[in-house]
Amino acid sequence: MDTSEIRRRFLGHFEAAGHTVVPSASVLASDPNLLFVPAGMVPFKPYFLGQETPPWPRATSVQKCVRTPDIEDVGRTTRHGTFFEMCGNFSFGDYFKQRAIELAWDLVTKPLDQGGWGLEESRLYPSVYVDDQEAVDLWKQVSGLPDDRIARLGKSENYWSMGVPGPGGPCSEILYDRGPAYGADGDFGAEDRYLEIWNLVFMQDELSAVRSKEDFDIAGSLPKKNIDTGMGLERVAFLLQGRENMYEIDVMFPVIERAMELSGRTYGVNHDDDVRFRVVADHVRSSMMLIGDGVTPGNEGRGYVLRRLLRRAVRSMRLLGFEDPALPELMPVSRDKMGETYSDLVRDWDRIARVAYGEEETFRKTLQAGTQIFDLAAGDVKRSGATTLAGEQAFALHDTYGFPIDLTLEMAAEQGLAVDEEGFRGLMAAQRERAKADAKAKKGQHADTTVYRGILDAHGPTQWLAYETLETESRPLALLSGGSAAQVLREGEVGEIVLDRTPFYAESGGQAADAGVLDFAGGRVEVLDVQRPIKGLVVHQVRVTEGELSADADVFAKVDPGWRTGARQAHSGTHVVHAALRQVLGPSALQSGSYNRPGYLRLDFGWTQALSPAQVREIEQVSQQALRADLPVTWDYMSLEQAREWGAIALFGETYDNTKVRVVEIGGPWSRELCGGTHVDHSSQIGTIVVTGEASVGSGNRRIEAFTGVEGFDYLARERDVVSQLTTLLKTQPDDLVGRVGDLVERLKAVEKEVEKARVTQLLAGGAALASASADVNGVAVVVHRADGAGGGDVRTLALDVRSRLDAARPGVVVVAGVQDGKVSVVAAVNDAGRERGVSANELVRAIGQLIGGKGGGKDDVAQGGGSDATRLDEALALVSTDVARMAG
């Protein structure tokens, strides 16, 4: 049974049982504590936490997921993958344990010809939490299995929580026995034998004082009990397809087959090669899915995970013997298989390919540079007589230069060297611990929304009127000071206020919150910020500027009309620039982020190379033409599926309501995006769009900035003033200004060259005198000279010039030191006869460096260095003759 059929049967089974089929959310988690969605329940987390009211009593989904903590285990086990699909069914206060067990057992055991999966009952073992006798009784009742077929496991295996106070409960897993070839009878910890395919979470407890996964207090029972299940699609697929592991299923093995063709090696022959083939299959698919959802390679967060996956795939192909670009050969194979379910991969293929292939090309250059660094390190090891590359060096190659440890091991072996792997692993472990500690610290800062939930439960959602008016008469529902309820906010105090109705736009979708005031009898408060901490509730951060605001005061809420006009112009301008980008660069230039405030917009988009000045001008010109055309700006509400069919663009990383979304159009299909922001009525009302810059904001991401409205005209006026001042100063016309400035720059460069030439001539003019005044030190001609005002280049030039003037037949050494801007530069030069007498320029410079607070080095004939302590320079130079005498014997 192919993977798409397994998925279809799962969704069909639960839809027939009254569940709403919910499409997969983006793999990019909206939870600030998560990089990616790691489980199917994450999109439903607000419902389980009571932060939002679920729109359906029961639901089912097949969710795209990514887990990266076990990335090193990918390919080594049957079950670890970075990207995977998790099938789940969810009950929000509807059915509970018995129905969950019935539905799962029915699908798993129902014959194939009846729409089930037809797994043999004799191979299935339910597991339950050791103290959950109710689950044991229900499994026996539903399945007819005896006691010895039901495994009782502890908290670490069969109790679920989020790791923070909140809902939790016992779990029940369905395990598939793969037979004695995979482990001992009854050893349920042997996951290769007893493979978990489905986990049923009975969310029934309210947890408090959560100290660890196995150490927490149960405060009581949840008022509404929920069901959350997760079934690994890939795991069921390799069982039903008779494969050994998830990498060999129908949607992944074709990549391995292509990798075999490219490398000339065969899967199933060598364990190390098999691991590499599996890494390729997993990482190529995972990378493609991440890019498809808007991730671009970078050095931190999601971008770093993607970069690591892509580079591990390329590295594995190299270790398999294929050194040409691999992703253009492999990723289209994965696209063809996954694109059958996720059509976005096919539609956005140009963008996905450009990002992936560009990163591979960058990595190939990194490998070249890393190889040079490795060769230097290996050379140092050999010269020292050692045979092992230090763990610190291997770690630096990996961490600083992105050079994989496997390549370091491979290349070290080729040169007869070992690598201190234990030292390397220790440094890697320390780095991981630092990362975990940082992540834990960040997680601990997650905002507590309990107080807001209490307000929402008591009073209902805020009546939000930002689309309709700029002014409302309102009543406070709550005042907050320091996160707690307050009866009054005094003059000068900053706090929060929740109103029953508000005209203020709360920050979202890249648009800054409105500014304005709340007037009340005897006073006024200034609105500093407006947010939605939980769905349905609008919270205003305010500062009391006059009087005292009490919780029972009536207020008059007024948005600053100038602020709102500027915000509308900027947000509509963002849509216009986005459409212009796609018109100029092509449909794959998609927005990846934005920010707009009155008069200013910033738009990030996926692109791998800098835009030319001509492209920037064309984007600006297309934008201005849209403004001149006075295009109508309209919006409508529809389902997410309708919006997609209509061609509306949904932004990467944003989450949308599956039942109703707002689509904003500018000029019909020319610009059609999902958006909840405020907008102008016609494009001409934007006033103007002036692009002020275009730059990189990370690998595969560019940023355009622009001014709109009055701020755009102000920017142009400032530039006009600059041009006017320059034309007056240079006595020329605006059209001739560039040529005039260019002529001045060229003349300045020519003068600087002449000045430099004269300076060097003057510097070298004293070379002959210095050479003739050399001192004799034990038969060696020694010249020591201090040249104040000379930099490193000047010092070197003079030292070499003086050395060339010494008698070549007589041993000679020249040491020149210069001081410029408080920094000391030193160069020592020794002729061939001097080196034969044992004089070393390298040793002389090192000795001087110790006294002047610096260092230096080089070869025996020429060495250079520097320092920061000029006060001891004369002392250091005075010791040169002593050092020369010692070296010359």
**Domains of the chain, residue spans:** 3-246, 253-443, 450-552, 564-717, 766-887
Mean pLDDT, 10 residues at a time, the chain of 889 residues: 95 96 88 82 87 90 90 78 95 96 97 94 95 95 93 91 84 94 84 90 90 84 93 94 93 97 94 94 96 84 87 91 95 95 91 90 81 83 88 83 74 85 86 60 49 88 95 95 91 95 94 96 95 92 95 95 96 97 89 92 89 95 96 92 84 63 93 94 96 85 94 94 93 91 93 82 81 91 89 88 92 93 91 93 91 87 91 90 90
Provide the sign of the torsion angle of the four alpha carbons 438, 441, 445, 446, taken in this order: positive
Predicted pLDDT of residue 699: 67
| φ, ψ at 206 (rounded to 5°) | -100, 115
Lookup: tokens for 865? 């260095």
Q: Which class for 578: exposed (0-12), middle (13-18), buried (19 or more C-beta within 10 A)?
A: buried
What is the secondary structure of 142-209 as a DSSP string?
HH---GGGSEEE-HHHHEEE-SSSEEEEEEEEEEEE--GGGS-TT-TT-TTTEEEEEEEEEEEEEEEE
Predicted pLDDT of residue 442: 39
Please provide the CATH number assigned to the domain covering 450-552: 2.40.30.130
Query: Contact, 297 vs 307, CB < 8 A?
Result: yes
Query: Contact, 161 vs 207, CB < 8 A?
Result: yes
Q: Where are the beta strands (DSSP E) in 652-710?
A: 661-666, 671-674, 689-696, 701-708
DSSP 669: G
pTM (predicted TM-score):
0.68
Predicted pLDDT of residue 449: 74
How would you write 742-789 as a 3-class SS string?
Answer: HHHHHHHHHHHHHHHHHHHHHHHHCHHHHHHCCEEECCEEEEEEEEEC
Which residues participate in the annotated binding site? 571, 575, 675, 679
Identify the CA nearest to 47 among candidates 539, 458, 451, 534: 534
Query: Contact, 826 vs 835, CB < 8 A?
Result: no
Query: Contact, 471 vs 503, CB < 8 A?
Result: yes
Predicted pLDDT of residue 214: 79
Identify the CA nearest to 118 among candidates 25, 240, 222, 22: 240
Provide the sign of the torsion angle of the four alpha carbons 618, 619, 620, 624, taken in this order: positive
HSE-CB of 270 using CA atoms within 13 angstroms? 9
Phi-psi category of residue 810: left, alpha or beta, with phi > 0 → left and psi -120 to 50 → alpha: beta
83, β-bridge pairs: 66
Element (H, E) at 473: strand 471-474
| CATH architecture for residues 3-246 | 2-Layer Sandwich (3.30)
Q: Which class for 745: exposed (0-12), middle (13-18), buried (19 or more C-beta within 10 A)?
A: exposed
**CA 439/CA 446 separation, integer angstroms:** 11
Predicted pLDDT of residue 447: 46
Query: Contact, 256 vs 280, CB < 8 A?
Result: yes
Fold held by 766-887: Diaminopimelate Epimerase; Chain A, domain 1 (3.10.310)
Which residues participate in the annotated binding site for Zn(2+)? 571, 575, 675, 679
**Check: CATH 3.40.50.150 for 564-717?**
no
**CA 780/CA 829 separation, integer angstroms:** 13
**CA 88/CA 228 separation, integer angstroms:** 7
